[in-house]
Structure 1
Amino acid sequence: MTPRPDSWIDAPWPGNPRVRGLFTSRQGGVSAGPYAGAGATPGGESIGGMNLGSHVGDAPQAVAANRARLAAWLGDVRVAYLDQAHGTEVADLDRWDGASTPQADAAVTATPGVAACVLVADCLPVLFAAPDGRAVGAAHAGWRGLAGDVLEHTLQALCRKADCKPAAVHAWLGPAIGPQAFEVGGDVRTAFVHQAPEAADAFLAAAEPGKWLANLFLLAQLRLQAAGMPLSQVQGGGVCTVSNPARYFAYRRDRVTGRQAGLVWIAARSA
């Protein structure tokens, strides 16, 4: 088996040994062209990319090979890919048939060996874990999803499934577009500040009048905190996809590009 790339990020969960979390990168696959990995081999050939998105124009056989490679690295874990639409729908993977593609931007499950998975290329992947590994979840959070409460909906679904309070849940923020690269219009800022005045702290005036630099990581932290999660239980954040072309696909940077994944699952046995 091909070694797993060092650029992938494991997300450990303190006090939750049965939960596993992972953020992939653009490295480790077979995709070519704009979906390839950055750089070249000593022979001048492009390095294969780990594009996991089947909707971005990549060769279907390459995507299938990448997903098969991920499955081999994960072992006895089934990955539930979603049909994402920048919405707030949360899929219940305990009802998943194992073959279909749920239409949702988040998912929760209490079934060991089923990975909740979101695909991203600048949007923020957020992973959740309830105490004692009773349930896990993943959410795809761009600015539209954040403003529409996708994190709150995911947290509520997770807490219902695990019979716990938001204060007992832990979360991981994966790589996403950083605040120095995410320029938005005033309508985006207004959408957040209208809901919560403290969201103004997540926006800095850009060089162009009427434009703002938005901090997705801070916006997510503020939303989770308002939903009842202590910030001490929110890990990760701060890794920018746009400024790391060797590691990450980024839609804002490249437009035609692949997708990396954020995954979380309950292991059959604790480590």
Structure 2
Amino acid sequence: MSSKTIAKQFVHMGARFRIVRPENLPRRLRRADYAIDVVTDKQGQLFEMQLSSVREEQLDIDVLQCDRHDRHLLLLVKTPEANDRFLCGHDEREWFVAAVPGGASSVAQAKLALLPAEVRQAADEARLNQGQRTRRHNRAFIRQGEWFFVPVPGFHVDKKMIHRHEPISRGGGSKPHWVAELYRTGGEPVHVCSEYPNGLTDREYKQLIADRPSARRWGWERRVRDAGVYARGTVRHPDHATITLREWHRVRMNTENKTRQKANVAFLD
């Protein structure tokens, strides 16, 4: 599918699309492989694919489905290594792009593929149909962006262990969601800063400081990676409507982090 044809599909859902060459971008923004981003120009947001002319010869790009009413489309990028799928669309206030696991061939299938196992189980127990499962609010869970919140009735937490106004983030430089009350169990303590948004273990941090003493001044914070997380109260994010959790909810991230092509998504929520 030509770039003009792809751009027309984006127009159908009310968005813009363009391809840019890495050599025309500042060096700090150039990617080793192709990358799909949401950027902003004078006209507003648009989808941008960074793609070298050499790499373009190796790829076959297609739009599997465009849902004009829902303002979503499913993009397929066939590479010599694999077939990569990306859900591009509008969620509440902003455009987004998400790497999709599996072999989805429609927007609805892509949304379902992004549900983590625990969320799917909760949806099964609540006997939700396909349409209900893709809503942000239903009787099984609440979703805000890439985060799902599953109610845990009767869950009790020691008040001393509750963190107030705590961020949750997928890493990779994404904007955090701020939770009024958060409880963590298990996980791995890490050191986080803008240079290492995914965190370093104590051993990795000490090695970095030994090699680069100036790194001590990088504004590090202590976080917990891959912990069991529970939330209660308000959850806020600039790109989404605030939600309020009346009881404790288990927090789960969508399945994008399980995809091979997650590295090809430059924009993160």
Same fold judged by TM-score > 0.5?
Answer: no
Could you state the TM-score of these two structures normalised by the residue count of structure 1? 0.28
Indicate the structure with greater strand content: 2
Could you state the TM-score of these two structures normalised by the residue count of structure 2? 0.28
Larger RCO: 1 or 2 (CA < 8 Å, sep 6+):
1
Structure number with greater Rg is 2
